[in-house]
Amino acid sequence: MRSTMSELLSKGTTRDVVKFGKVVKAITSNLTVDDSWDNDEIRNLAFSLRDLGTGDVHFVTAPLGRYDFTPEGESIVRLAPKKSAALFRAVKNDEIESYLKKYPRAELPGKTSIN
C-alpha cells in the first residue's frame, strides 16, 4: 500500500484529472470491500484525497492479541481489544498522532520499509 501510494503521488497522478480518473476506475473495478461500500463511495473517497501527500499518511500495524482457532479449526490472529479500540477511536477522531505517541512501535518504520 505504501509503495503504491508513494508511486501514485510522486508521478503527480492526483493532479492530472484524466490520469487520476483512470487510476480510480482501475481501483474500483478491481476492489471489492463489502456490499455496503459501493464503487461510487470508493471513487468519492479517492477524489476527496487528491491533495494528500505521502507525509500526511501514517502506516500502522493493528495491535495483535493472540493466536486462536475458528470453530472450523482455521487458525486466526485476534486483535488486542483495548489497543484496537484505542486505535480505531484515534482514527475516527483524527488523533492518530496521539495514539502513536502512546504506542510508537505501532507505526511502520521508514518511508518504504514494511518490516
- Per-residue model confidence (pLDDT) at position 25: 79
Q: Is the pLDDT of residue 114 over 50?
A: no
> Over the stretch 94-104, which tens digit does the pLDDT of each residue have?
999 999 999 99
Q: Is the pTM of this model over 0.85?
A: no
pLDDT confidence of 36, banded at 50, 70, 90? confident
Q: What is the DSSP string of the chain?
A: -HHHHHHHHHTTGGG-HHHHHHHHHHHHHH---BTTB-HHHHHHHHHHTTT--GGG---B---EEEEEE-TTS-EEEEEPHHHHHHHHHHHHTT-HHHHHHH-GGGBPPSSS---
Q: Is the pLDDT of residue 51 over 90?
A: no
